[in-house]
C-alpha cells in the first residue's frame, strides 16, 4: 500500500479510507474512497448514517483491514470503527510504524522505532501512572540512542579526518537508492529490495570515482509523503549524514505514477534540513528502463539512469566527480615519475590514481594523473624531497 495514494488536499474535506486484504502478508487495496467528516476532534469520526454505509461497503468487499489516511486516531475512534466494520482499523502512524518494525535490523534502528512509538503509546495511556511509565521509557530510549549517536559521530570524524569525501544518496522510499549504490560501488552489502523502507539504517559504501579518488556513498532512510512529525524526529540521526555530505544525490523513481509528488516531498524534506547552501544536490531520474522511448524524452534535462541496467551511471559518476572536486578544493595533477617508484606507490595508496601509463618511448617513465587537495600536494612534495 503506497503512501502516495493519500492525497493530502483531500484531508481538508474528509478522510481517505482504504479497504485492504492481507494475503501472505502483502497489502492489496480492494476499495478506496474519500469520506467527508464534520470533525476529527470528537470521540467518533462518522455520524451513524455514514458509519452504517461504510460498514456495508467493508462487508461487501470482504476487507481484512481498513486504513484511514490520518496521522493518529483516538482510541475511541478506532474502537467505534472496528466494532462496526468487524476488522482491524489502522491509521497512518500505526501503518508506518508497522513497516518500520519489520524493517529494523540493527540496534539503533530498533531503538529509533521504539522511540517513534512513544507518542502513539502516550496518546493512548489511560491515566497519570501509565503516562509516567511512558516518560521513563522515553528517557531510557533517548539515553541509549545518545550513546549510539556518539559512536556515529566518532565514525564520522574518523571519515573526515581521513579526507574521504562523502556522497549522500537520498530519495523517496523504494526509489532505488540502495540498488544504485550497489551498481556504483559493487559493494555486495548494498542489495536493494523492492519494498517500502527497506533501509532504516545509515550504511556507508566505498567506491572510486573515474579520477581514482575514493569516496563514501551513504545510504539513507527513504522519505515518505506526510510522514508523521514524530517519526521524522526519531530518525533525525539517520539524516545527519546527508546534512554533512559533500554532495547529495536525489534519486527519483520516474516509473512511479506519482514521481513528481514524490520528488516534491523529498525536496521539501531536504529544504527543512540545515544543509549548507553550497552543498550540491544532483537529481537523477532512476528506473528509466521501465519507460518507453517517448516517455523518456519527456524527462528533459534530468539525468536519466537505470541502476539495474547501468544506463547513465558513468555520466552520473563523472558529474559526482566534478562536484566533489569543486566543493573539496581538489584539482587534477599530472606527473612524470620513475616507473615502479616509491612516489607512484605513495600516490596510489594515499589518494588513488585516475590514470597510470608507461611512456611508450621511455619505459623508465610513467605518466600519472591524480587528484589532490592543496594539503595533499604539499605532503607529496615533502615526501619527494625526503626521497631525494
Q: pLDDT value at position 21?
A: 59
pLDDT tens digits in sequence order for the chain, 388 residues long: 333 333 333 333 345 566 665 544 566 788 888 888 777 788 888 888 889 999 999 999 888 888 888 778 888 888 999 999 999 898 888 877 777 777 666 777 778 778 878 887 887 777 888 889 999 999 998 888 777 766 556 555 655 556 789 999 988 888 889 899 999 998 766 554 444 444 445 678 888 899 888 898 988 776 766 665 556 555 555 666 677 889 999 999 999 998 898 898 888 878 877 788 889 999 999 999 998 877 777 777 889 999 999 999 999 999 999 999 999 999 999 999 999 999 999 998 888 888 899 999 999 999 999 999 998 999 999 988 877 6
158 annotated to a ligand binding site: no
171 annotated to a ligand binding site: yes
Q: Show the cell assigned to 15.
A: 478522510
Instruction: Report the sign of the C-alpha dihedral through residues 321, 323, 327, 330, in that order.
Output: positive
Burial 327-337, CB ≥16 within 10 A → b, else e: bbebeebeeeb
Distance CA 173, CA 158 (A): 29
Q: pLDDT value at position 118?
A: 86
Q: Show the cell assigned to 294.
A: 517517448
127 annotated to a ligand binding site: no
200 annotated to a ligand binding site: yes
Distance CA 229, CA 222 (A): 15
Q: pLDDT value at position 194?
A: 43
308 annotated to a ligand binding site: yes
Give yes or no for a contact between 281 and 290, defined as CB atoms under 8 angstroms apart: no
304 annotated to a ligand binding site: no
Q: pLDDT value at position 196?
A: 43
86 annotated to a ligand binding site: no
Q: pLDDT value at position 306?
A: 95
Cβ partners under 8 Å of residue 203, min gap 6: 189, 190, 218, 219
199 annotated to a ligand binding site: yes
201 annotated to a ligand binding site: yes
106 annotated to a ligand binding site: no
76 annotated to a ligand binding site: no
219 annotated to a ligand binding site: yes
312 annotated to a ligand binding site: no
Q: pLDDT value at position 34?
A: 87
Residue 364 CA, chain-centre distance (Å), reads: 49
Phi, psi of 215 (to 5 degrees): -130, 165
Q: pLDDT value at position 267?
A: 87
57 annotated to a ligand binding site: no
Q: How many CA atoms lie within 13 A of 350 on its CB side?
A: 16
Q: Of 77, 65, 91, whose CA–CA distance to 228 is shortest?
A: 91
Q: pLDDT value at position 7?
A: 35
Q: pLDDT value at position 352?
A: 81
288 annotated to a ligand binding site: yes
Q: pLDDT value at position 238?
A: 60
Strand partners, 172: 223
222 annotated to a ligand binding site: yes
Q: pLDDT value at position 325?
A: 94
176 annotated to a ligand binding site: yes
144 annotated to a ligand binding site: no
Question: Residue by residue, what is the 3-state secondary structure of the chain?
Answer: CCHHHCCHHHHHCEEEEEEEECHHHCCEEEEEEEEECCCCCCCCCCCHHHHHHHHHHHHHHCCCEEEECCCCCCHHHHHHHHHHHCCEEECHHHHHHHHHHHHCCCHHHHHHHHHHHHHHHHHHCCCHHHHHHHHHHHHHHHHHHHHHHHHHHHHHHHHHHHCCCEEEEEEECCCCHHHHHHHHHCCCCCCCCCCCCCCCCCEEEEEECCCCCEEEEEECCCECCCCCHHHHHHCHHHHHHHHCCCEEEEEEECCCCCHHHHHHHHHHHHHHCCCCCCCCEEEEEECHHHCCHHHHHCCCCCEECCCCCCCCHHHHHHHHHHHHHHHHCCEEEEEEEECCCHHHHHHHHHCCCCEEEECCCCCCEEEEEEEECHHHHHHHHHHHHHHC
Amino acid at each position: 500500500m503506497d503512501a502516495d495514494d493519500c492525497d493530502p488536499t483531500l484531508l481538508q474535506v474528509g478522510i481517505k479510507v482504504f479497504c485492504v486484504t492481507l494475503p501472505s502478508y502483502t497489502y492489496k487495496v480492494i476499495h478506496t474512497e474519500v469520506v467527508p467528516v464534520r470533525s476529527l476532534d470528537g470521540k467518533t469520526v462518522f455520524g451513524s448514517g455514514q458509519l452504517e454505509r461504510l460498514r456495508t461497503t467493508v462487508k461487501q468487499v470482504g476487507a481484512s483491514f481498513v486504513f484511514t489516511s490520518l496521522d493518529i486516531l483516538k482510541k475511541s475512534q478506532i474502537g467505534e470503527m472496528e466494532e462496526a466494520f468487524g476488522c482491524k482499523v489502522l491509521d497512518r502512524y500505526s501503518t508506518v510504524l508497522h513497516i518500520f518494525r519489520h524493517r529494523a535490523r540493527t540496534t539503533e534502528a530498533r531503538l529509533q522505532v521504539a522511540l517513534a512509538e512513544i507518542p502513539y503509546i502516550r496518546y493512548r495511556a489511560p491515566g497519570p501512572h501509565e503516562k509516567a511509565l511512558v516518560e521513563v521509557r522515553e528517557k531510557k530510549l533517548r539515553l541509549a540512542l545518545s550513546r549510539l549517536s556518539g559512536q556515529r559521530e566518532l565514525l564520522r570524524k574518523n571519515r573526515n579526518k581521513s579526507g574521504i569525501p562523502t556522497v549522500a544518496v537520498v530519495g523517496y522510499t523504494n526509489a532505488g537508492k540502495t540498488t544504485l549504490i550497489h551498481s556504483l560501488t559493487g559493494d555486495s552489502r548494498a542489495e536493494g529490495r523492492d519494498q517500502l523502507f527497506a533501509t532504516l539504517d545509515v550504511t556507508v559504501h566505498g567506491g572510486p570515482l573515474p579520477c581514482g579518488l575514493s569516496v563514501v556513498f551513504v545510504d539513507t532512510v527513504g522519505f515518505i509523503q506526510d510522514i508523521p512529525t514524530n517519526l521524522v524526529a526519531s530518525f533525525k540521526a539517520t539524516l545527519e549524514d546527508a546534512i554533512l555530505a559533500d554532495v547529495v544525490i536525489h534519486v527519483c523513481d520516474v516509473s512511479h505514477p506519482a514521481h513528481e509528488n514524490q520528488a516534491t516531498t523529498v525536496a521539501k524534506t531536504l529544504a527543512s534540513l540545515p544543509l549548507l547552501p553550497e552543498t550540491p544536490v544532483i537529481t537523477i531520474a532512476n528506473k528509466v528502463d521501465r519507460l518507453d522511448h517517448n516517455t523518456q524524452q519527456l524527462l528533459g534535462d534530468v539525468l536519466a539512469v537505470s541502476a539495474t541496467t547501468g544506463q547513465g551511471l558513468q555520466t552520473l559518476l563523472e558529474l559526482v566527480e566534478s562536484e566533489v572536486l569543486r566543493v573539496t578544493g581538489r584539482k587534477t595533477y599530472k606527473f612524470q615519475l620513475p616507473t615502479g617508484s616509491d612516489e607512484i606507490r605513495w600516490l596510489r595508496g594515499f589518494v588513488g590514481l585516475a590514470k597510470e601509463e608507461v611512456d611508450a618511448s621511455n619505459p623508465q617513465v610513467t605518466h600519472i594523473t591524480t587528484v589532490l587537495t592543496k594539503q595533499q600536494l604539499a605532503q607529496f612534495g615533502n615526501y619527494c624531497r625526503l626521497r631525494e
